[in-house]
């Protein structure tokens, strides 16, 4: 076997060469535990699917649900941080991911984070995670919501720290990043448009489409019935005119001369 000498090892001097030797972390799997309850799972699905449907024609975002965020190799080793329940990253490629690895995403952190409070996580979400999202992630907007108590609050990054987002008269909070309101309806956190319309889930959207189609069919049927009634009235008028013409002819009168 040939001896390995310092001269036989090519020097590594470029960023590309160094990066080539670093492990690929783009396929790191999420290590998040299951959500606290079926209510938490249902709530996260509502937030994910309704926004995906609303942005169905966009390709510049990613929505993570109960997905690990890896932001440093030290954190990757210690596993001392649990990912958000729901997060939205903008100006990124819309594609499936098994986790969010910050250094594989050009250093990008989520733009919006939503935590679903529970008895076991509420204090962590209100304090420790809020500080991490403010100081380390610099996430622009952070919301939390409890499906159990309906506690709802939002924060926006201004300057060096978070400032509470003031609710409107409906109790809704405006998201500058999403260009949507977040508010509680039917015990669930939902998105609303600037005009106050509910952003539907796929199921709700399908039902709305079905109702619209039904209404269109009913309108078309009403038009058909009106047209048929007009046709029948015209036919009745024609029959009366024909009958009158026959009677006049029987009397020796020319109907056309009258």
pLDDT at 227 over 80: no
**pLDDT confidence of residue 248:** 72
Spatial strand order of the sheet with 152-158 comes to 61-65, 86-90, 112-117, 141-146, 152-158, 161-164
What are the distances in angstroms from CA 120 to CA 31, 90, 94, 132?
A: 18, 30, 32, 18
**pLDDT confidence of residue 35:** 61
Q: What pTM value is reported for the model? A: 0.73
Pairing between β-strand 100-101 and β-strand 69-70 as defined by DSSP bridges: parallel
**pLDDT confidence of residue 79:** 63
More confident residue, 172 or 7: 172
pLDDT at 5 over 70: no
Domain ranges for the chain:
25-199, 206-251
**pLDDT confidence of residue 6:** 36
Contact 200, 50 (CB under 8 A): yes
Q: In this structure, what DSSP letter does residue 80 have?
A: -
- Confidence label for 4 from pLDDT (cuts 50, 70 and 90): very low
More confident residue, 224 or 50: 50
- For 72, the 3-state DSSP assignment is coil
Strand-pairing partners, residue 224, are none
Question: The domain 25-199 is classified under which CATH number: 1.20.1250.20, 3.90.1570.20, 3.40.630.40, 3.40.50.150?
Answer: 3.90.1570.20
pLDDT, average across residues 206-234: 79
pLDDT, average across residues 223-228: 80
**pLDDT confidence of residue 197:** 97
- Confidence label for 57 from pLDDT (cuts 50, 70 and 90): very high
- Residue whose tokens read 């209100």: 126
- Confidence label for 17 from pLDDT (cuts 50, 70 and 90): very low
* DSSP H/E element including 69: strand 69-70
pLDDT tens by residue, 230-252: 888 888 888 887 777 787 778 77
Q: H helices of the chain, where?
A: 15-21, 38-54, 73-78, 122-123, 129-132, 202-250
pLDDT at 109 over 70: yes
């Amino acid at each position: 076997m040939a001896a390995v000498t310092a001269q036989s090892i090519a020097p590594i001097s470029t960023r590309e060469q160094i990066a080539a030797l670093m492990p690929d972390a783009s396929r790191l799997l999420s290590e998040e535990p299951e959500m606290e309850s079926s209510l938490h799972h249902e709530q996260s699905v509502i937030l994910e699917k309704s926004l995906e449907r609303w942005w169905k024609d966009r390709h510049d975002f990613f929505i993570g649900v109960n997905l690990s965020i890896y932001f440093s190799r030290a954190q990757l080793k210690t596993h001392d941080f649990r990912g958000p329940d729901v997060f939205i990253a903008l100006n990124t490629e819309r594609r499936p991911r098994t986790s969010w690895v910050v250094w594989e995403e050009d250093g990008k952190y989520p733009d919006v984070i939503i935590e679903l409070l529970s008895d076991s996580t509420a204090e962590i979400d209100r304090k420790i995670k809020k500080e991490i999202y403010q100081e380390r992630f610099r996430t622009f907007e952070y919301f939390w919501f409890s499906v159990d108590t309906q506690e709802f609050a939002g924060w926006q990054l201004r300057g060096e720290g978070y400032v509470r987002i003031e609710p409107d008269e409906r109790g809704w909070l405006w998201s500058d990043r999403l260009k949507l309101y977040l508010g509680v309806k039917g015990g669930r956190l939902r998105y609303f448009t600037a005009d106050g319309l509910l952003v539907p889930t796929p199921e709700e959207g399908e039902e709305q489409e079905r109702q619209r189609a039904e209404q269109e069919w009913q309108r078309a049927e009403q038009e058909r019935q009106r047209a048929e009634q007009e046709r029948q009235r015209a036919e009745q008028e024609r029959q009366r005119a024909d009958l009158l013409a026959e009677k006049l002819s029987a009397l020796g009168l020319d109907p056309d001369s009258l």
